[in-house]
Amino acid sequence: MFQSFSESAHPEQGPPRLAALREVMADARLDGFIVPRADAYQGEYVAPCDERLAWLTGFTGSAGFCIALRDKAGVFVDGRYRTQVRSQVDLAHFTPVNWPETAPADWLAQELPEGGLVGYDPWLHTPREIETLTNGLRDSGVTLKATDNLVDRIWPDRPAPPMGPIRAYPAELAGLTHAQKRATLAAELSAGGHDAAVLTLPDSIAWLLNIRGSDIPRNPVPHAFAILHATAKVTLFVEAEKLDGTLRAHLGDDVIVRPPSAFGPALHSLTGPVRLDARSVPVWVMRELDQAGVPRVWGDDPCVLPKACKTDAEIAATREAHLRDGAALCEFLAWYDEQAPGSISEIDVVRRLEECRRATGALLDISFDTIAGSGPNGALAHYRVSTASNRILARGDLLVLDGGGQYLDGTTDITRTLPVGEAADIGADERAAFTRVLQGMIAMSRVRWPAGLAGRDLDVIARYPLWLADQDYAHGTGHGVGVNLCVHEGPQRLARISEVPLRAGMILSNEPGYYREVAFGIRIENLLVVQEAETLPGGDATGKLCFETLSFVPIDRRLIDASRLSDDERDWLDGYHALCRDLVGPRVAPAVRAWLDQATAPLGDAGK
């Protein structure tokens, strides 16, 4: 299997490791040290050798950081992880801090009232992060100092860096050759008067050069650095053993391969101006250019926006991937409905779902560790089942099942909330909350909006039905998704903090939810792609955008309080289920087709 169930959090190991860190902090004459969940490439996902935050604290979430002081250690987490962090760290030694509500600068100013010197690794922070922190500390007496990584000094068995092979990605699936991509972005650099751009984000480099890697589990990206020159040439800094002759031939003469040790000297040799993205390049790169006197300018990573706006070929490919994945999900759901309450566990669910995806013959990996949280575990938005946490699915539970696959032609991510037992076994509160979540998900699926609006402008649409009941969820409504790349992709998001205008071709998740701590969780998720909207009869031709749904798996009707749905909501759900039958039905076995027909039957007049 791709997924394992070993216990990844070890709270008991945190205190002695924190004590060791404080010893080296004292030797370095530092009053604090920042430990982020980040690596030198500044992607969201990190290799085992870069899991410093988890190694030190026990916290395994995908976002957060620790600030260790001489007498206190704050673990900063957002709303997705506030329940999880309390179970993964030793609360006698680590203090959870609600972030971003509490800014790290404010916390430091309060905890170091006499001032102090706080160290950070310049490889693991961006200029924007350090600038924000520095500005927040102004007049506090607290100062920052770049240093080597103190955690690495005390991590005796730190894993070696990954050396996964790199392969070419087919141009017919990408829609453009890497020569075409390089030429387009180089012209943009030249038009801006920029001599080069530094790239560190793994998915940017993978997208630009039409390559895929295997350095990060679940995410087919390589660890490498790159410099895109205004001549359309690229210097790629990567370990030679990751490349074979076929890959070198794919890259061609205009991609010069150098070892990672040559990255610093190459920065010094640039004439500039060099374009840097303050939100993704490490501080170390900025410092190297400044020390060499190379002019630099701030600007977006040139790959990020074109990568987000998928080509027609990528959209066609990912449609096929989602139909294949949808058929696998239906095979699983037909099996699930045959299991009696109390007869299977969360681990059984994860194993069976992966078996169904593997049976397609096209699965390269899962796109993230499958979330299968039943009962109170479902209230943990990013729950990962282990042998220690594994629960038997009991009658009356809700099961939050969130998973996806990495296929050559697409990356999938879908969530369904399922009852354990029959509809009568589920409580009224759960059914009411499920219906509100469904209403928000339908509203987002149907929305049409004027071009120029960002994710923050649409996020409220999915929350409105929950807000009417004084309910909400602590995560964004949706994240960007790549095509055989990262399941979390920027810059597009459906979230209160997203200011990036949505554009045609962007793929996003639509996943409102509701979580009641130690009781139950609910989430319903499809993937959507932004499309130009046709003008409706009687409407004004004002350039609207809309969403096309990519995911086709039935939504469990047993959890719906149909009396709460409007006629339009019923019509959308019945239409969606008809598409599930038409598009996925021909891809499944006859017995599963019979299940699918029953699971997608129209709501009719029930509950009116």
Map residue 589 onto helix, strand or coil: coil
Same domain, 202 and 131: no
Q: Which helix (H) or strand (E) holds 374?
A: strand 371-374
Last residue of a domain, one of 97, 124, 154: 154
**For the domain that residue 138 is a member of, what is the CATH number?**
3.40.350.10
- The pLDDT score that the predictor gives to residue 1 is 85
Rounded-to-integer distance, Cα 412 and Cα 89, Å: 32
- The pLDDT score that the predictor gives to residue 606 is 45
- State how beta strands 410-411 and 405-407 pair: antiparallel
Rounded-to-integer distance, Cα 321 and Cα 569, Å: 27
Tokens of 165: 């092979």
Residue type, 577: H
Same domain, 143 and 177: no
Same domain, 139 and 208: no
Rounded-to-integer distance, Cα 230 and Cα 422, Å: 62
Instruction: Name 230's Cβ contacts closer than 8 Å, sequence gap at least 6.
Output: 186, 189, 190, 194, 195, 196
Angle between helices 127-136 and 283-292 (to 10 degrees): 90
Same domain, 94 and 172: no
DSSP state of 41: T
Same domain, 419 and 499: yes
Rounded-to-integer distance, Cα 95 and Cα 565, Å: 43
Q: Which helix (H) or strand (E) holds 297?
A: strand 296-298
**For the domain that residue 456 is a member of, what is the CATH number?**
3.90.230.10
Same domain, 261 and 400: no
Task: Examine residue 159 and state whether it is found in any structural domain, yes or no.
Answer: no
- The pLDDT score that the predictor gives to residue 491 is 96
pTM: 0.95
Rounded-to-integer distance, Cα 270 and Cα 8, Å: 43
Query: Is the distance from CB of 358 to CB of 370 less than 8 angstroms?
Result: no
Q: In a 10 Å sphere around its CB, with 0-12 CB exposed, 13-18 middle and 19+ buried, how is residue 433 labelled? A: buried
Residue 294 sits in which domain range? 167-303
The C-alpha angle with vertex 24 and arms to 18 and 29, in degrees rounded to 5, equals 120
- The pLDDT score that the predictor gives to residue 461 is 98
Task: Examine residue 552 and state whether it is found in any structural domain, yes or no.
Answer: yes
- The pLDDT score that the predictor gives to residue 551 is 98
Q: Which among 302, 322, 314, 391 has a CA at the least distance from the CA of 362? A: 322
Task: Examine residue 278 and state whether it is found in any structural domain, yes or no.
Answer: yes
Same domain, 240 and 318: no
Rounded-to-integer distance, Cα 16 and Cα 35, Å: 16
Last residue of a domain, one of 132, 154, 176: 154
- The pLDDT score that the predictor gives to residue 115 is 86
Rounded-to-integer distance, Cα 292 and Cα 271, Å: 10
Instruction: Name 144's Cβ contacts closer than 8 Å, sequence gap at least 6.
Output: 117, 118, 119, 120, 130, 133, 134, 137
Compute CA distances 191 → 205, 269, 303, whole Å. Answer: 21, 22, 16
Query: Is the distance from CB of 190 to CB of 230 less than 8 angstroms?
Result: yes
Q: In a 10 Å sphere around its CB, with 0-12 CB exposed, 13-18 middle and 19+ buried, how is residue 518 labelled? A: exposed
Task: Examine residue 511 and state whether it is found in any structural domain, yes or no.
Answer: yes
Query: Is the distance from CB of 229 to CB of 196 less than 8 angstroms?
Result: yes
- Residue 252 has φ and ψ, to the nearest 5°, of 80, -175
Tokens of 196: 């080069």
Strands (E), 136-243: 142-146, 167-168, 196-199, 211-212, 225-229, 234-237
Rounded-to-integer distance, Cα 476 and Cα 88, Å: 23
The DSSP-derived string for 56-108 is HH----SS-EEEEESS-EEEEE-GGGHHHHHHHS-TTT-EEEETTTS-HHHHH
Tokens of 13: 């190991």
Last residue of a domain, one of 270, 303, 336: 303
Instruction: Name 140's Cβ contacts closer than 8 Å, sequence gap at least 6.
Output: 105, 108, 109, 112, 115
- State how beta strands 142-146 and 116-120 pair: parallel
User: Which residue ranges in the chain fall short of pLDDT 50?
Assistant: 606-608
Other CB atoms within 10 A of residue 56 CB: 26
Same domain, 354 and 411: yes
Same domain, 326 and 217: no
Angle between helices 455-467 and 428-446 (to 10 degrees): 150
Instruction: Name 455's Cβ contacts closer than 8 Å, sequence gap at least 6.
Output: 476, 477, 478, 492, 493, 494, 495, 498, 499, 500, 502, 508
Q: How many domains does the chain divide into?
A: 3
Same domain, 508 and 559: yes
Count the residues in the chain. Answer: 608
Same domain, 265 and 227: yes
Same domain, 258 and 216: yes
Rounded-to-integer distance, Cα 209 and Cα 218, Å: 20
- The pLDDT score that the predictor gives to residue 607 is 40
Rounded-to-integer distance, Cα 567 and Cα 565, Å: 7
Task: Examine residue 162 and state whether it is found in any structural domain, yes or no.
Answer: no
Task: Examine residue 6 and state whether it is found in any structural domain, yes or no.
Answer: no
Q: Peptide bond preceding 100: is omega within 30 degrees of 0, i.e. cis?
A: yes
Other CB atoms within 10 A of residue 562 CB: 16
Residue type, 427: G
Residue type, 344: I
Residue type, 138: R
- State how beta strands 234-237 and 225-229 pair: antiparallel
Map residue 35 onto helix, strand or coil: strand
Tokens of 272: 């500039």
Task: Examine residue 605 and state whether it is found in any structural domain, yes or no.
Answer: no
Rounded-to-integer distance, Cα 257 and Cα 250, Å: 12
Strands (E), 452-592: 478-480, 489-494, 507-510, 513-516, 520-523, 526-532, 544-549
